[in-house]
Amino acid sequence: MQAQTWFGYIWELLPGVVTALELTGIALALGYPLALLMALLINSAPRPIAWLSIAFVEVGRGIPLLVLLYIFYQGLPQIDIIPSAMNAAITAFTWSTAGYATEIIRSSLQSVPNGQLEAASSVGLSDSDRFRFVILPQAARIAIPPLMGLAIIMFQLTSLAYVIAVSEVMQAAYFLGTKTFNYLPVFLAAAAVYAAITIPASALVTSIERRLARHV
């Protein structure tokens, strides 16, 4: 395999990286706030609403993302809703992100010691102030590293969107593969593209994790 062609393949995959990052970004921007809402509803809403929230979260975490993608893209047309591939992908990825993130946020909220709550009440903070100024900042410090880890996983999972023809990295690689019949170098190029983003991103998460752990 010639090095030049191989780098050529990487070059052709780059537009796919943009789409993959776009999909990841949108899913996180929608999924994380949704997860915070779900975590709060599960912890403190009246029972029926809390149960609905649990069901929402379990569907997002329990069904493989691949199947969620198919449900929105191939399933919805059965009831005459025909989403674009990108919209179907955004919906599936947001749901999945929200599902996993809810668990992270819930456990970070629970890890704030009870004494903090009692202290906040005893100095007369209102419920909402207690949450905003006492619980949330401490929980955030714990939740940030795993949420960043989840972001990296979601980026890797954008490869699945190829099955519904979103023009991300794997879609581009598969197209190149069928055009040139050079599957091995093409998919190696795709692997290199993912690794080139994942490895530095993971290193960044580890260093942030260490820095945050200093103050816990």
Residue 6, interface with other proteins (CB under 8 A)?
no
Residue 21, interface with other proteins (CB under 8 A)?
no
CA distance 110 to 88: 33
Q: Which is nearer to other proteins, 191 or 204 (CB)?
A: 191
Candidates 63, 135, 144, 148: give the one binding other proteins (CB under 8 A).
Answer: 63
Candidates 183, 204, 207, 213: give the one binding other proteins (CB under 8 A).
Answer: 183
Candidates 117, 148, 149, 159: give the one binding other proteins (CB under 8 A).
Answer: 159
Residue 67, interface with other proteins (CB under 8 A)?
yes
Closest CA to 69 of 148, 150, 154: 154
CA distance 202 to 116: 32
CA distance 154 to 25: 9
CA distance 10 to 13: 5
What's the burial of 201, exposed, middle or buried (CB within 10 Å: 0-12/13-18/19+)?
A: middle
Do residues 212 and 143 touch, judged by C-beta distance below 8 A? no
Residues 33-62 that bind other proteins (CB under 8 A): 58-59, 61-62
Q: Which is nearer to other proteins, 61 or 141 (CB)?
A: 61
Question: What would the x/- binding string for other proteins be over residues 75 to 104, using CB under 8 A?
Answer: xxxxx-------------------------
Q: Which is nearer to other proteins, 32 or 162 (CB)?
A: 162
Cα 203–chain centre separation: 18
193 in helix, strand or coil?
helix
Do residues 163 and 88 touch, judged by C-beta distance below 8 A? no
Residues 137-156 that bind other proteins (CB under 8 A): 156
Residue 115, interface with other proteins (CB under 8 A)?
no
Q: Which residues bind other proteins (CB under 8 A)?
A: 58-59, 61-68, 70-71, 74-79, 156-157, 159-160, 162-163, 170, 173-174, 177, 181-184, 187-188, 190-191, 194-195, 198-199, 202
